């Protein structure tokens, strides 16, 4: 018995020593307590140099994690168990997270750089008064295409994609709202349509697009289009800017039937342990020079009005990515459709993907 007690005592002592050493090591590297900030963001959605700059300025170590869909991000935050101090949901997800009690109200007195955001991006319907969110990037969903691979043909419409000459030429982003939305818009229905008859029509029309669809892919869509593996892609505008930067033969268009106008936003989830540090990080990213550096690196459009002064004119004057609001009147922001209707969208998208096999 004494041997057994001695054995467990030794194990306990060894564990204590290891934990102490680990804590000391983490402390030395800035990983302890309030010196840590966990940021949960989309992939390829921040200039890594800005994270280093923030760490140097504040002494706070950033742990950076990524997600590939609003739904995955919301599920992980709702489950709890992991500390996330800052997250970057899209507008409809902000609305949903508010409803589900997953967000902490922002303290605007700690965000003085909020004054640099263009007022047209503030106080929007998904978060009146920006009580829980501040804008990060904005953009559209559209079509990037290679006129040279299409024999000079121009794309202006969603319905152009159903051309039988485009067999095996189209890549689609792997997103239910984007693809079902494309089907709805092609029929001149709203992106937020909840009429199941209209949604079935959209799905059946998407089924007829199948011969032209080469693949439904994630982030690799940028590489595939830039390397001319396909002539056409349905993508977000920031991805289009990045693709065109890699291959200037391509062009980007927002289809004339209409499309999605989206906003990604910084929020503080309920899981946050370093709320002070989260405000510091958000305010840091709202600094005009930092926002401009981030926009130039990521390729998406910044809502920071002052940041435009630090960006090249060829970027800010490109109407494909910085359109006048007067010219985007046919664009819609995604609404929070509720759990059941979102599940229905996902079910239709899955059926479409299965139809291809």
The continuous run of DSSP H or E covering 304 comes out as: none
- Residue 305 phi, psi dihedral angles, 5° rounding: -60, -45
Closest CA to 46 of 264, 226, 236: 264
Is 92 labelled as part of a ligand binding site? yes
| CA distances for 181 relative to 10, 138, 189, 213, 341, angstroms | 62, 18, 9, 16, 13
Helix or strand (DSSP H, E) at 173: strand 170-173
What are the contacts of 190-199 at 24+ separation with CB within 8 A? 190/332, 191/258, 191/259, 191/260, 191/332, 191/334, 192/332, 192/334, 192/335, 192/337, 194/337, 194/341, 196/344, 199/344, 199/345, 199/348
CA distance 323 to 318: 8
Q: Minimal CA–CA distance to 322: which of 303, 307, 301, 306?
A: 301
Sign of CA dihedral 32, 35, 38, 41: negative
Residue bearing tokens 């996330």: 84
Residues 6+ apart with CB under 8 A from 336: 92, 93, 95, 96, 99, 126
Neighbours of 339 (CB within 10 A): 11
The answer to whether 132 touches 267, Cβ cutoff 8 Å, is: yes
Contact yes or no for 73/38 (Cβ under 8 A): no
Cα(342)–Cα(337) distance, integer angstroms: 6
Residues annotated within the binding site for spermidine are 92
Residues annotated within the binding site are 92
């Amino acid at each position: 018995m004494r041997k057994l007690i001695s054995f467990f005592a030794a194990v306990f002592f060894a564990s204590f020593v290891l934990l102490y050493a680990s804590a000391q090591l983490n402390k030395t590297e800035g990983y302890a307590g309030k010196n840590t900030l966990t940021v949960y963001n989309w992939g390829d959605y921040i200039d890594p140099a800005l994270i280093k700059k923030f760490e140097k300025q504040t002494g706070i170590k950033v742990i950076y994690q990524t997600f590939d869909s609003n739904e995955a991000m919301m599920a992980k935050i709702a489950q709890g168990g992991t500390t996330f101090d800052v997250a970057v949901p899209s507008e409809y997800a902000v609305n949903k997270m508010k409803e589900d009690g997953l967000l902490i109200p922002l303290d605007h007195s700690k965000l003085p750089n909020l004054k640099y955001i263009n007022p047209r991006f503030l106080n929007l319907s998904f978060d009146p008064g920006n009580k829980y969110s501040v804008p990060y990037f904005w953009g559209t969903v559209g079509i990037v295409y290679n006129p040279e691979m299409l024999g000079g043909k121009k794309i202006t419409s969603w319905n152009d994609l159903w051309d039988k000459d485009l067999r095996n030429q189209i890549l689609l982003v792997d997103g239910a709202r984007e693809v079902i939305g494309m089907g709805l818009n092609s029929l001149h229905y709203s992106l937020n349509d909840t009429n199941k008859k209209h949604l079935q029509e959209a799905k059946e029309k998407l089924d007829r697009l199948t011969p032209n669809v080469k693949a439904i892919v994630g982030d690799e869509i940028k590489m595939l289009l830039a390397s001319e593996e396909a002539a056409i892609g349905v993508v977000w505008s920031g991805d289009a800017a990045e693709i065109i930067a890699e291959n200037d033969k391509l062009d980007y268009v927002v289809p004339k039937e209409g499309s999605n106008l989206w906003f990604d936003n910084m929020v503080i989830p309920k899981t946050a342990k370093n709320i002070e540090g989260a405000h510091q990080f958000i305010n840091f990213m709202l600094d005009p020079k930092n926002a401009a550096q981030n926009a130039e690196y990521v390729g998406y459009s910044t809502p920071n009005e002052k940041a435009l002064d630090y960006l090249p004119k060829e970027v800010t004057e490109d109407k494909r990515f910085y359109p006048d609001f007067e010219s985007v009147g046919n664009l819609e922001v995604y609404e929070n459709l509720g759990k059941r209707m979102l599940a229905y969208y996902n079910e239709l998208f899955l059926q479409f993907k299965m139809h291809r096999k």
